[in-house]
Amino acid sequence: MKKIAIVGGGISGLTVAYALISKNPPSPPFAKGGDILYPPLKKGDRGGFLNEDLDITVLESDNRPGGKIWTDKVNGFLCEKGPNGFLDNKPKTLELCADLGIEPLRSNENAKKRYIFSQGKLNVLPESPLAFLKSDLISWHGKLRIFYDLIAPKGPEDETVADFVIRRLCKEALEKLIDPMCSGIFAGDPYKMSIRHCFPRIKEIEQEYGSLIRGMIKLQRAKKKTEAKKMRSYEDKNFSTSQPLNFSTSQAKVGPAPSGNLTSFYNGTQTITDALTEKLDGRVRIGVSVKGLEKEGDLYRLHTSEGIVYADIVVLATPAYASSEILRDFDKELSKNLSGISYPPVSVVCFGYKSEKILHPLNGFGFLIPHKEGKKILGTLWDSSIFPNRATEGHVLLRSMIGGAKSPELAMLEDNDLINTVFDELRPIVSLKTEPDMVRIYRWEKAIPQYDLRHGEKLRIIDDRLKSCPGLYLTGNAYRGIGMNDCIENGYKIADEIIKKCQ
Is residue 258 scored above 70 in pLDDT?
Answer: no
Give the span between the Cα atoms of 327 and 370, in whole angstroms.
39
Nearest to 155 by CA among 461, 406, 453: 453
- Strand-strand pairing, 30-32 and 35-37: antiparallel
**Between 112 and 375, residue with greater pLDDT:** 375
For the cut 90, the answer to whether the pLDDT of residue 290 exceeds it is yes
Length of the chain: 503
Give me the pLDDT at residue 264, please: 97
Looking at every residue in the chain, the average pLDDT score rounds to 89
pLDDT at residue 34 in the model: 42
Which residues, 6+ apart, have CB-to-CB distance to 329 below 8 Å?
Answer: 292, 293, 294
pLDDT of residue 43: 35
What pLDDT score was predicted for residue 224?
A: 79
Answer yes or no: are the C-beta atoms of 155 and 211 closer than 8 Å.
no
DSSP 8-state secondary structure symbol assigned to residue 46: -
pLDDT value for 23: 74
pLDDT at 235: 59
Q: Of the candidates 187, 184, 104, 109, which has an alpha carbon nearest to the alpha carbon of residue 488?
A: 104
Judged against a pLDDT cut of 70, whether residue 251 lies above it is answered with no
Q: Which of 408, 406, 432 is CA-nearest to residue 420?
A: 432
Between β-strands 395-403 and 346-354, what pairing exists: parallel, antiparallel or unpaired?
A: antiparallel
Domains, the chain, with CATH or none: 2-67+270-341+451-502 (3.50.50.60), 87-111+343-444 (3.90.660.20), 138-260 (1.10.3110.10)
105-106: strand order across its sheet: 86-87, 262-264, 105-106
Q: How confident is the model at residue 503 (pLDDT cuts 50, 70, 90)?
A: confident
- Asked whether 473 and 334 are in contact (CB, 8 A), the reply is no
In this prediction, residues 324-352 reach a mean pLDDT of 97
227 DSSP β-pair partners: none
- 3-state DSSP assignment of residue 333: helix
User: 39: pLDDT confidence band, cut at 50, 70 and 90?
Assistant: very low
Instruction: Report how far residue 301's alpha carbon sits from residue 307's, in angstroms, rounded to the nearest whole number.
Output: 10
Angle among Cα 300, 284, 14 to the nearest 5 degrees reads: 85
Contacts of 430 (CB under 8 A, 6+ apart): 358, 359, 360, 362, 380, 398
Cα three-residue angle 260-254-213, rounded to 5 degrees: 130
Contact 127, 118 (CB under 8 A): no
Average pLDDT estimate for 340-368: 96
Q: 499 with 49: CB under 8 angstroms?
A: yes
Q: How many CB atoms lie within 10 A of CB 178?
A: 22
Whether 42 has a pLDDT exceeding 50, the answer reads no
Q: Where are the beta strands (DSSP E) in 266-358?
A: 284-286, 290-296, 299-304, 307-311, 313-316, 346-354
Give the residue-averaged pLDDT of 146-166.
Answer: 95
Contact 316, 472 (CB under 8 A): yes
Dist CA 465 CA 406 (whole Å) = 32
Above 80 in pLDDT, residue 233? no
pLDDT at 434 over 90: yes
- C-alpha span between 333 and 294 (Å, rounded): 15
DSSP letter string over 178-241? IHHHHHHHHS--TTTBBHHHHSHHHHHHHHHHS-HHHHHHHHHHHHHHHHHHHHHHHHHTT--T
Is residue 363 within 8 Å of 385, Cβ to Cβ? yes
Task: Provide the pLDDT confidence category of residue 232 given band limits of 50, 70 and 90.
Answer: low
Confidence of residue 249 (pLDDT cuts 50, 70, 90): very low
Distance CA 421, CA 415 (A): 10
**Residue 327 confidence (pLDDT) above 60:** yes
- What is the pLDDT, as a whole number, of residue 53? 80
Binned at pLDDT 50, 70 and 90, residue 405 comes out as very high
Residues near 277 by Cβ (< 8 Å), separated by ≥ 6?
9, 14, 65, 66, 284
CB count in 10 Å sphere of residue 223? 15
Q: What are phi and psi of 79, to 5 degrees?
A: -105, 135
- For the chain, what percent of residues have pLDDT higher than 90? 79
Provide the pLDDT confidence category of residue 442 given band limits of 50, 70 and 90.
very high
Instruction: Return the pLDDT at 340.
Output: 97
Q: Is the pLDDT of residue 130 over 90?
A: no
